[in-house]
Structure 1
Amino acid sequence: MGFDGFPDEALIFYEGLLADNSKTYWTEHKDVYERAIKTPMLALIAELGDSWGEPKVFRPYRDVRFSADKSPYKTHQGAFCEILDGVGYYVQLDADGLTTGAGFHAHTREQTARYRAAVDSPATGPQLAKLVTSLVDNGFELSGDQVKTRPRGVAADHPRLALMRHESLVARRHHEPSPSLHTAAAAAVVRADWHALAPLVEWVATYVGEFTMPPRR
């Protein structure tokens, strides 16, 4: 089955789940989730192809073991194409529309240490600063875990202090619901954003993940 977009009932489903995050609501509307959300997301990832990395469509159930919020279900559907541990491309659907993103979530202290060393280096740090400035100028937002002040040993006047504070780094862009979301054109939106994010992922993969990216198709 090809990707034909996400139907409007997918957004309505998440609006309802936000209002009533319960097993009762989920059970009564599970067929909508399967038909209008999970199946199209699987089709979207298949449409984008495996050159973006190993695809994973996340489960809709929250891990509440260590959370004060015991709501059982995620109020979004995400998928991640991973090129190596914690590094890759992301897409998410929720009641507010579509979000694309890419970057890395550190899985080890060594990853964070390699990231900061690369940001600190005058040979590689300015390259990242230029990349993220371009992405922000083009409508992407930076996020990721970071320390509140600055890492130990980093000077207060470091030229890339904002980036040094990060323990992980993600750039993302949100797309409000539009007619294209309900058509195959949504795949082109995701693909275009991922292409724009590819230089960031390639930088991270090279200097944080110790991995050389293949040419982007």
Structure 2
Amino acid sequence: MQIKDSTFQFLHDLQKNNNRDWFAEKKSTYIKAQKNAKDVFTEIHINLQKHDEIEKSKMMRIYRDVRFSNDKTPYKAHFANSYSRLGKELRGGYFLRLRPGESFLAGGFWEPEKDDLFRIRKEIEQDASEIKAILEDKNYKKHFGENFESFGELKTAPRGFDKEHPDVDLLRKKGFIASKSFTDEEVLSADFIDKVDESFKALRPFFNLFSDILTTNLNGEKIV
């Protein structure tokens, strides 16, 4: 099972012809490409279930909601899928996007709920050593570099936190995400699914620690 050249060619062509008339003409091509991507996402889900507990797998719709966007192109020129971990006990989720020239996977906490974000920040305030150890782990760095990404950061420490805290760079984050990009050649290779699974496995220490943080209080007592 792998992504076909024809699937990526469809997405490449869609980037150049993102309009309803062209899409209608290529509907049969789209259906084949969508099935190929869905089959790959399903295989990745099967692999994930071997070493994690996944509550939900969802393939994103290709149709864009343009009501509140300046970009009025009607379609997303990519295929994407999210995998949600099990319930309140296992937090976080996995994500994979396939787009010519811009494919990537990610995992973590995109936009944590207010209470969850506050709990993570309190953990950082009290003792960030375990979180920082994740960033120093050889396997994590191999796949994701030496930092957490965040869609937006505060200019200073959050209200109620010390602006001079030694880990203020972590306190300022609005989310905690690990991501890895793939070249088109990697996406189209026969071992792409295995590469994705290796990267997702490398997230487990990150997920295990944050799940523990979000299911306990600052005294380490279970609250879930």
TM-score range, shorter chain: 0.7 to 0.9
* Contact 1:41/1:57 (<8 A) preserved: no
For 1:134-213, list aligned pairs within 5 A. 134=137, 137-140=141-144, 142-150=148-156, 151-178=158-185, 181-208=187-214
* Contact 2:40/2:193 (<8 A) preserved: yes
Which deviations, in whole Å up to 9, do the C-alpha atoms of 1:87-132 show, x marking residues without a partner?
211111001164121101235211221221222221xx22112213
Identity of aligned residues (%): 22
2:187 aligned counterpart, secondary structure: helix
Greater CA deviation, 191-200 or 67-76? Answer: 67-76
- In structure 2, which of residues 17, 20, 23 is the aligned counterpart of residue 20 of structure 1? 17
* Contact 1:78/1:92 (<8 A) preserved: yes
Tell me the equivalent position of 1:42. Answer: 38
The alignment's C-alpha RMSD in Å is: 2.4
Structure 1 residue 126 and structure 2 residue 129: aligned?
yes
Structure 1 residue 117 and structure 2 residue 114: aligned?
no
Offset at 1:165? 1.4
Tell me the equivalent position of 1:64. Answer: 66
- In structure 1, which of residues 4, 9, 13 is the aligned counterpart of residue 6 of structure 2? 9
The runs of 4+ residues in structure 1 deviating greater than 3 Å are 133-137, 180-184
1:143 aligned counterpart, secondary structure: coil
- Distance in 2 of aligned mates of 1:130 and 1:197: 13
* Contact 1:104/1:204 (<8 A) preserved: no
Which deviations, in whole Å up to 9, do the C-alpha atoms of 1:16-59 show, x marking residues without a partner?
222222112222223223212x2233222332323451211111
* Contact 1:11/1:97 (<8 A) preserved: no
Structure 1 residue 93 and structure 2 residue 93: aligned?
no
1:138 aligned counterpart, secondary structure: helix
- Distance in 1 of aligned mates of 2:23 and 2:176: 33
2:72 aligned counterpart, secondary structure: coil
- Distance in 2 of aligned mates of 1:97 and 1:126: 33
Q: TM-score, normalised by structure 1?
A: 0.81
Q: TM-score, normalised by structure 2?
A: 0.79
Tell me the equivalent position of 1:79. Answer: 81
* Contact 1:96/1:177 (<8 A) preserved: yes
- Give unmatched runs, 5+ long, in structure 1: 211-217
2:106 aligned counterpart, secondary structure: strand
Offset at 1:209? 6.1
- Distance in 2 of aligned mates of 1:146 and 1:133: 23
* Contact 2:103/2:183 (<8 A) preserved: yes
